[in-house]
């Protein structure tokens, strides 16, 4: 093998190693979006930390919370999705020039009914969680729930609107 072909082979290997090193550095140094499953798991039990830190739930109470949350999650989620679907349909009427007051009233009544069902389901959920509180924890729990519900009532709950 001649020197020229050896040099070409060595230069080719050096370039491959350099590119590989750059790719490895980029993988470890560039910020990544959190894994969707990790986010979903974190959001799944988002009351866990406040119940533990603010209310003082024990490990057995936290396990009971998880059972209650898992048993009710499907019902609440379906009501949220139904409300979102009807609310989307309502606002799609903006593009309809023929949407009269009666149609707007039908949709807004439908939204109100679904919101009522969602609020009743949420109330039942919080009531079930309150049953696992000790008498000493009830006041702290009530304060926490009031703070959470008050935050839900704010006009803009997220930073999506800027």
| Same domain, yes or no: 67 and 23 | no
What's the mean per-residue pLDDT of the chain?
A: 84
In a domain, 40, yes or no: yes
Domain extent for 13: 1-32
Q: What percent of the chain has pLDDT over 90?
A: 48
| Same domain, yes or no: 8 and 59 | no
Tell me the C-alpha distance between 88 and 94, whole Å.
Answer: 10
In a domain, 88, yes or no: yes
> Comparing C-alpha atoms, which of 76, 73, 75, 46 is closest to residue 62?
46
pLDDT in tens, 59-113: 999 999 989 988 888 888 899 999 999 999 999 988 888 888 899 999 999 999 9
Residue 157: pLDDT above 60?
A: no
In a domain, 160, yes or no: no
| Same domain, yes or no: 83 and 17 | no
Tell me the C-alpha distance between 161 and 112, whole Å.
Answer: 23
> Comparing C-alpha atoms, which of 129, 148, 133 is closest to residue 66?
129
| Same domain, yes or no: 109 and 122 | yes
In a domain, 127, yes or no: yes
| Same domain, yes or no: 22 and 38 | no
Tell me the C-alpha distance between 124 and 145, whole Å.
Answer: 12
- What's the CA dihedral at 102, 104, 106, 112 to 10 degrees? -140
Give the end-to-end CA distance of the chain in Å, rounded to a whole number: 66
Output the six-digit token pair for 114. 């679904």
Number of domains in the chain: 2
pTM recorded for the entire structure: 0.64
């Amino acid at each position: 093998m001649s020197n020229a072909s050896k040099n070409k082979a060595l230069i080719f290997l050096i370039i491959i190693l350099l590119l590989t090193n750059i790719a490895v550095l980029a993988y470890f140094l560039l910020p990544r979006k959190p894994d969707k499953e990790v986010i979903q798991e974190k959001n799944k039990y988002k009351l866990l930390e406040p119940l533990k830190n603010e209310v003082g739930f024990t490990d057995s109470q936290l396990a009971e919370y998880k059972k209650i949350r898992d048993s009710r999650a499907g019902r609440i989620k379906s009501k949220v999705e139904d409300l979102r679907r009807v609310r989307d349909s309502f606002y799609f009427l903006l593009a309809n020039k023929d949407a009269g007051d009666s149609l707007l009233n039908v949709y807004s009544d439908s939204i109100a009914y679904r919101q009522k069902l969602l609020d009743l389901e949420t109330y039942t959920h919080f009531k079930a969680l309150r049953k696992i509180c000790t008498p000493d924890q009830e006041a702290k729990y009530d304060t926490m729930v009031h703070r959470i519900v008050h935050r839900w009532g704010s006009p803009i709950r997220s930073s999506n609107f800027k």
